[in-house]
Structure 1
Amino acid sequence: MADTTGNTSKAAAGGAPDSGPRKSSWRYIGPGIVVAATGVGAGDLVATLIAGSNFGYTLLWAAVLGCLVKISLAEAAGRWHLSTGRTLFDGWASLGRWTTYFFVVYVVIWGFVYGAAAMSSSALPLQALFPDVMDLEWWGVACGLVGLVFVWFNKYAVFEKVMTVLVGVMFVVTVYLAIRVTPNLGDTFAGLLPVLPDEKDSVLNTLGLIGGVGGTITLAAYGYWVNAKGWTNTGWMKVMRLDNRVAYITTGVFVVAMLLVGAELLHAANVSLASGDKGLVQLGDILEREYGTATATFFLIGFFATSFTSLIGVWHGVSLMFSDFVARERAARAGRPEARGEAIASGDRERSWPFRAYLLWLTFPPMVLLFQGQPFRLVIIYGVLGAAFMPFLALTLVWLLNSSRTPREWRSGPLSNVMLAVAGLLFLVLCVKQIWDQPWSEFF
């Protein structure tokens, strides 16, 4: 993006001028909206609803703290990209080949299972809205194909605009529902005090709510969307930080709104929701009984927007990461280390064959799982890898941003290091718990 201010005060990493706007401005934001939309999926909303139904307003503070933790992670990823001129995968690769092995296994297995989950999640509200049109599996296929075609033929600018519109739909629906259930404001503010529920496993449930909403690999993709927006050096640092705050304020609104719905609509009536995306279909039925068909239909539209933004966001963002991975590996094999990060620097990154190959991987092989169910062992491996990614991201960012790989003025300060360390420990505990809870005896 051209420098519109004439700000060329000093060189950024890699010798590029430190160009960018002198002041952060709302008119520049965009990647934050994308990461918020992608990170909040149907499963996240169900988890928040269940927390509200089980504990009322007690864990509202944990939902807010979770957003602050994610702000620190996304800011760190964006700061790495802008301050070094290198991509996050390039940073990981500098830590050793083990990061490459982890990423390859993760992105292949995770993408295969996630593709089916995303298509199924997007299909559920469509089938509820149009029950006589076709079966759930075929709605899932249709959603996957629409997502593929959209990301295949559009570059970031169009992608961002569509995501912004869908976020607007999500925002209006969740805020409307929160107002519709008439929350108790006194209890709401009391929920901001850090108190644990007086129940078994309350600590782990609280940690799960803190860590569970707002994205996994999409946090790592944030730096790639920052570059795709045209922000490529430290001149854009203030803008990126404003954009990141907007992302997680938006996420916080979604989370708080759904927790209020769970507390008022479900907790008081002692109604339990099914876990997983089907819980939202169940909520639609409850809303129809309590508030009428129009409110239920409005909610299902928001449910679709929530699910489909996660689908196309992953289709785009993780494909960018995969294209960067392939470009770096090819450059290393060809003896061209100076070509690192070229998948993001190139204007054709969204037209590259690795980008499109991963798009196809996310779309077509997972369709088999829609019709045959998810293989048990594959789901266990998927769960373990998914649990391991967030501590991997947090702890490698601590490593990268406190080393000579990052220019001194942009290394993490005390607050950033504390937040990243808290995030790393939080996700490490959740990772151990999830691995422990897997039915390993049935795996072998």
Structure 2
Amino acid sequence: MMTNAPDTRAPRWKVIGPGLVVAATGVGSADMVATLVAGSNYGYMLLWAVVLGVVLKIVLVEGAGRYTVATGKTIFEGWRSLGRWPVWYFAPYIVIWGFVYGASAMSSTALPLAALFGGPLWVWAVATGLIGFVLIWFGRYRFFERITAALVGVMFVTIVILAVIAAPNVLDAITGLVPLIPDEPNAVFYTLALAGGVGGTITLAAYGYWLREKGWDKPQFLKVMRIDNTVAYIVTGVFVISMLIVGVEVVQAAGVAISASDQGLLELDGVLRERYGEVIGVWFLIGFWAAGFSSVLGVWNGVSLMFADFMGNVTGKGSEHPDSRANGRWFKVYVLWLTFPPMLLLFLDQPVFLVLLYGVLGALFMPFLAITLLPILNSDRVPRGFRNRWYLNVALGVTTILFVVLGVYQVWNAIASVIG
């Protein structure tokens, strides 16, 4: 464990760690597709929504990190201080979410591998899960952080250079910073979903756990944490904006329509190969894989830490017990749960009821995080100097309203899609 905060006068990259992990984990293939489709359909009109999404994530993750830095406690301990209802929500959520996400993450990460090397998709999906399992089961945080940083480097360089090659129209892009909404049915909710969804998963709440693994869970690390979080999400913002540029300058310019599923990225590969050649297509698939695999590793590690802490607390052992920490008993149980049971879904149609629960619980997590941070950060649960100032309350309040509206809308869509 570190005892002294790193010198914040040093180059910023030297104090970057858990923030890059949480930002990279939150941006997977689904976020890439959503941004790509937004660019291909609406041009730069929704650039402002992408920028807003980055700001929202900075606010949320900073709040979760500040609680851990100020108190040395985990976010689950903060939730539990609000009463029993957070426990009743979180328990089914983390179990069902992990089961369904494990299958979807393995499958989406396998898509570029199958496209590059051929063979059945399920083989690459199973291999992805097994490799992620081994790396997290036997690795420690330092190794996990380094390999995630390497994957971030690959995905970042790939997409940013693609955006540069695409030669964006800078003046058109600047006009996209003016808040406008497409004149189409449900365009308001689509726009808000783009702002709220990019880089937004349960792993936002895992940030405090990674701070703890890094040894940055003490008050003297507040400034370091804020630099870490802000720089990481700026990097994410540049990545997502670059994906939007590719959607505008490559997909829209080619006059093709791509699907709103992970297959859309394979369709983009075809457009890139036709326009720029085989090398660029292969390069993009490598970046696509890096984005997916960084999310696999991030969830396998971060959400397993959250589950271990959850089980340690509900069994009365507390957050500091070895069973509640990395590589402890409950951590390993959840790594197993993420890896092997979901492989059954790779061969079977997903049960309707399970998909419905996954959609409903998933849509409600971001509102849950935003709503719970308000009382946690405005009460004696944190020392006075670490409580929200008025502008942070305004930002977190706006974020809460946005996610509540989005959550209700997504729950309605999830129910309608299953019933229909």
Name the TM-score class by shorter chain.
over 0.9
- Give the number of equivalent residue pairs: 418
Displacement after TM superposition at 1:441 (Å) = 8.5
Alpha-carbon distance in structure 1 between the residues aligned to 2:388 and 2:324: 32
Stretch moving more, 268-277 or 405-414? 268-277
Q: Label 1:355 to 1:442 Cα distance change in 2 as closer, same or farther (>3 A).
A: closer
Could you say what secondary structure the match of 2:182 adopts?
coil
| TM score, norm. by length of structure 2 | 0.96
1:79: Cα distance to partner? 0.2
Which residue is equivalent to 1:240? 225
Equivalent of 2:41, from 54, 61, 69? 54
Identity of aligned residues (%): 54
The reply to whether residue 258 of structure 1 matches residue 234 of structure 2 is no
Deviations 1:146-185 (A, max 9, x none): 0000000001000000000000001110101101111101
Residue aligning to 1:13: none
Work out which of the residue numbers 164, 170, 175 in structure 2 matches 1:185: 170
- Distance between the aligned counterparts of 1:22 and 1:262, measured in 2? 40
**Equivalence for 2:326:** 350
Q: Is contact 1:38-1:215 (8 Å) kept?
A: no
Provide the alpha-carbon RMSD of the alignment: 1.6
Map of 2:31 onto structure 1: 44
* Other-structure match for 2:101: 114
Farther off after superposition, 68-77 or 407-416: 407-416
Q: If the length of structure 1 is used for normalisation, what is the TM-score?
A: 0.91
Change (3 A) 1:323 1:275: same
Of stretches 189-198 and 20-29 in structure 1, the one that deviates more from structure 2 is 20-29
Structure 1 segment 421-432 matched on structure 2, within 5 A = 421-432=397-408
Gaps of 5+ in 2: none
Aligned runs of 1:286-365 on 2, under 5 Å? 286-331=271-316, 340-343=318-321, 349-365=325-341
**What secondary structure is seen at the aligned counterpart in 2 of 1:351?**
coil
Within 2, Cα distance between the matches of 1:233 and 1:55? Answer: 45
How far 1:136 moved relative to its partner? 0.2
Deviates more, 1:430-439 or 1:113-122: 430-439
Letter matched to residue 342 of structure 1: E
Shift of 1:268: 3.0
Shift of 1:439: 4.1
Residues in 1 aligned to 2:47 and 2:191: alpha-carbon distance in whole angstroms: 10
Q: Which of 371, 383, 387 is equivalent to 2:347?
A: 371
1:403 to 373, 376, 379: 379
| Aligned-partner Cα distance in 2 for 1:2–1:441 | 49
Q: Give ranges in structure 1 of 5+ residues lacking alignment.
A: 5-19, 332-338
Q: Secondary structure at the match of 1:82?
A: helix
C-alpha spacing 1:393/1:439, structure 2 compared with 1 (3 Å): closer
Letter in 1 for 2:80: A
Report the alpha carbon displacement of residue 21 of structure 1 after superposing the two structures with TM.
Answer: 4.0
Q: Does 1:67 align with 2:54?
A: yes
Per-residue deviation, 1:440: 4.7
